[in-house]
Amino acid sequence: MENLAVRPEPAKASPKSVRIASKAVLWLLCLGPAFWLVWRGFHNGLGANPVEYITHKTGDWTLRFILITLAVTPARKLLKQPQLIRFRRLFGLFAFFYGCLHFTTWFWLDKSLDFGEMWKDVVKRPFITVGFVGFVSLVPLAVTSTAGWIRRLGGRNWQRLHRLVYLTGAAGVVHYYWLVKSDVRLPVMYGAILAVLLAFRLKR
Amino acid sequence: MLIEKPSDLKYSDVTPKAVYTNRREFLAALGMGGALLMTHEADAGTKLEVSSKSPFSTTEKINSYQDVTTYNNFYEFGTQKNEPAEYARNYRTSPWTVSVEGLVEKPREFDLTSLMKLAPLEERIYRHRCVEAWSIVVPWAGYSLSALLKSVGVSPKARYVAFQSDYDPKQMPHAYGIRFPYVEGLRLDEAMHPLALLCFGMYGEALPPQDGAPVRLVAPWKYGFKSIKSIVKIKLVEKQPRCTWNEMAPSEYGFYSNVNPHVDHPRWSQANERRLGELFRRPTLMFNGYEKEVANLYTGLDLKKNF
């Protein structure tokens, strides 16, 4: 496998101003779902069970951003656009951002910030266990997402560590699958997308 | 009247003469014209004649009509909670008949109007607790299911009541996720309990389609899915009947499905719930707060095993 970590592409094609602008636009797009939730919150648009709505939407976006992050490498290769690597960290950090919102909503509004209650659920309920594992697995990835950490760990170790995201994706899908009562169409769809993205890596 | 065990039932208990003759009188009085005039009572939103308040009503704050009509589990009209409000909008509930059959003296197919006139409609403000750990407070309108059962005369062999929802694939293209038609069941003594409501309306109006129009069950001490919607058939039977969710996942949804904070769903806690409109969870009450009324139905029954 090609070592992506230590070789941020030089991206000779685009001048600095374009790169900054494209990142700014992407930032706003990625914040879109969060703004959307806030806007709906102020316009009575969160439905009869707002807490559940927020929990579900932030969960959806966590999983989506994990999949988007995992899609960057295949997209670079298939579209022959290696400079897309620039955006991978941003997507990954947004997965972590929505994961934090998702976890916090649950821990605060469902568990009333009670660590004991939280831990009881984590230990007892497989769907929460696996969701929690997925969330926790994002923490080291977010922490070591900087250029400094790539240097400190060395590219090879850094990349090894960041393969943890495969586990995050699987945990997210299973978490969702175990949550629903009978209509598994959406979690199965996310599972299929994840499988394709991971299969792409096996192929090489 | 509380009936502890089905075996305590006498014929005279379930079919008092007064009810029986009443029904006759009513039927005699009901001419063709009357029937036509009253068909509109079935339409969603129509004001209902609600005769009396009920001592069973809670004084807790009622949820908004908006909450109760936009957050529904009704898989015939989609599996997402916002879907029934949209996909059930044009559901035809008139004409409507409910067949009462099986182990009864006088099996009968009721049209909705005569079913509604069987007993005076009462307002019952009940807590409603979903197995998914959310709850609402709803002012239903209906009468005790026992009134219907008494009117048809329950045979002494009957032990259970089986209910069936309408299933019309043409009108329900979004039905998904479970086996249709939806079926549910109660033990006969549960069905005869005065809290068990045959419900035609809410908020003083006929039921909107997404809430189970035109007639549904409300058994407030049980998880919401027991309170079957859009009933077309009620059958008195000897053996425990099939129940949709119980059949789907027997380890998750028991036949009884009484609200019980001490018996968790395998995947989540039932110890507390989110009342719609509240930010934090509140403790769930045994039998959803109807312990005083219904606990004696289950004397000697291991509720952990018979969840």
B304 in a domain, yes or no? no
Residues of chain A found within 8 Å of residue B248, distances taken between Cβ atoms? 182
Continuous segment of H or E residues that includes residue B236: strand B231-237
Which of helix, strand or coil describes residue B105?
coil
Continuous segment of H or E residues that includes residue A74: helix A50-79
Residues B13-59: pLDDT tens digits?
Answer: 544 444 444 544 444 444 444 444 444 445 777 899 887 789 999 99
The pLDDT value recorded for residue A116 is 94
Ranges A41-45, B2-6, B41-45, B297-301: which has the least confidence: B2-6
Residues of chain B found within 8 Å of residue A181, distances taken between Cβ atoms? 132, 177
- Assign residue B247 the CATH number of its domain: 3.90.420.10
Residues of chain A found within 8 Å of residue B71, distances taken between Cβ atoms? 47-49
Q: Is B28 on the interface with A (CB under 8 A)?
A: no
Is cis: bond before B214, omega within 30 of 0?
A: yes
B174 in a domain, yes or no? yes
The pLDDT value recorded for residue B285 is 98
Q: How much is the average pLDDT of B52-78?
A: 95
Residues A78-106: pLDDT tens digits?
Answer: 999 999 999 999 999 999 999 999 999 99
Beta-carbon contacts below 8 Å between A and B: 50
Q: Tell me how close the Cα of A199 comes to any Cα of chain B, in angstroms.
A: 29
The pLDDT value recorded for residue B52 is 78
Q: Tell me how close the Cα of A62 comes to any Cα of chain B, in angstroms.
A: 20
Provide the domain count of chain B.
Answer: 1
B303 in a domain, yes or no? no
In the predicted structure, residue A1 carries a pLDDT above the cut 50: no
Residues of chain B found within 8 Å of residue A49, distances taken between Cβ atoms? 71, 81, 134, 274, 276
A10 in a domain, yes or no? no
B238 in a domain, yes or no? yes
Q: How much is the average pLDDT of A114-139?
A: 95
Provide the domain count of chain A.
Answer: 1
Residues of chain B found within 8 Å of residue A127, distances taken between Cβ atoms? 267-268
> Looking at beta carbons, which pairs linking A75-81 to residues 24 or more positions away fall under 8 Å?
none
B213 in a domain, yes or no? yes
Q: How much is the average pLDDT of B207-213?
A: 98
Task: Report the number of secondary-structure helices (H) and strands (E) in chain B.
Answer: 10, 13
A7 in a domain, yes or no? no
Confidence of residue B102 (pLDDT cuts 50, 70, 90): very high
Q: Is A202 on the interface with B (CB under 8 A)?
A: no
Q: How far apart are CA B228 and CA B181, in angstroms?
A: 11
Give percent of chain B above pLDDT 70. 86
The pLDDT value recorded for residue A15 is 81
In the predicted structure, residue B137 carries a pLDDT above the cut 90: yes
The pLDDT value recorded for residue A204 is 63
Q: How far apart are CA A80 and CA B28, in angstroms?
A: 83
Closest CA to A89 of A15, A180, A150: A150
Q: How much is the average pLDDT of B72-95?
A: 97
Mutation for testing the A interface, residue in B248, B276, B282, B284 having most A CBs under 10 Å:
B276
A161 in a domain, yes or no? yes
A13 in a domain, yes or no? no
ipTM of the complex: 0.82
Q: Which domain holds residue A178?
A: 49-203
Give percent of chain A above pLDDT 90. 85
- Cross-chain Cβ contact B267/A49 below 8 Å: no
Q: How many beta carbons lie within 10 A of that of residue A56, not counting itself?
A: 16
Ranges A22-26, B22-26, B73-77: which has the least confidence: B22-26
A27 in a domain, yes or no? no
Encoding tokens for residue A130? 């696996």
Encoding tokens for residue B130? 């979903």
Q: How far apart are CA A189 and CA A177, in angstroms?
A: 10
A72 in a domain, yes or no? yes
Q: Is A179 on the interface with B (CB under 8 A)?
A: yes
Q: How far apart are CA B75 and CA B103, in angstroms?
A: 30
In the predicted structure, residue A69 carries a pLDDT above the cut 80: yes
Q: Is A149 on the interface with B (CB under 8 A)?
A: no
Minimal Cβ distance to B70: which of A48, A109, A126 = A48
Report the residue of chain A nearest B82, measured CA to CA: A47
B160 in a domain, yes or no? yes
Q: Residue B261: is it exposed, middle or buried by C-beta count within 10 angstroms (0-12/13-18/19+)? A: middle
Residues A164-204: pLDDT tens digits?
Answer: 999 999 999 999 999 998 899 999 999 999 999 999 998 76
Q: How far apart are CA B270 and CA B259, in angstroms?
A: 8
Residues of chain A found within 8 Å of residue B279, distances taken between Cβ atoms? 51, 109
Q: Tell me how close the Cα of B113 comes to any Cα of chain A, in angstroms.
A: 32
DSSP B117-172: TTS--EEEEEEEE-TTSEEEEEEEEEEEHHHHHHHH-B-TT--EEEEEE---TTT-
Contact in structure between B75 and B209 (CB atoms under 8 Å): no
Give percent of chain A above pLDDT 70. 93
In the predicted structure, residue B4 carries a pLDDT above the cut 50: no
A79 in a domain, yes or no? yes
- What value does the CA radius of gyration of chain A take, rounded to a whole number of Å? 18
B203 in a domain, yes or no? yes
Q: How many beta carbons lie within 10 A of that of residue A157, not counting itself?
A: 13
Q: How far apart are CA B208 and CA B262, in angstroms?
A: 34
In the predicted structure, residue B149 carries a pLDDT above the cut 70: yes
Q: Which domain holds residue B95?
A: 6-298
B108 in a domain, yes or no? yes
Residues of chain B found within 8 Å of residue A118, distances taken between Cβ atoms? none
Residues B158-170: pLDDT tens digits?
Answer: 999 999 999 999 9
Closest CA to A165 of A101, A60, A110, A93: A93
A56 in a domain, yes or no? yes
Residues B113-130: pLDDT tens digits?
Answer: 999 999 999 999 999 999
Minimal Cβ distance to A49: which of B71, B79, B178 = B71
- Cross-chain Cβ contact A47/B71 below 8 Å: yes
- Cross-chain Cβ contact A48/B71 below 8 Å: yes
Q: Tell me how close the Cα of B37 comes to any Cα of chain A, in angstroms.
A: 36
Report the residue of chain B nearest A108, measured CA to CA: B280
Q: Residue A38: is it exposed, middle or buried by C-beta count within 10 angstroms (0-12/13-18/19+)? A: exposed
Q: How far apart are CA B305 and CA B307, in angstroms?
A: 6
Closest CA to A33 of A54, A4, A50: A54
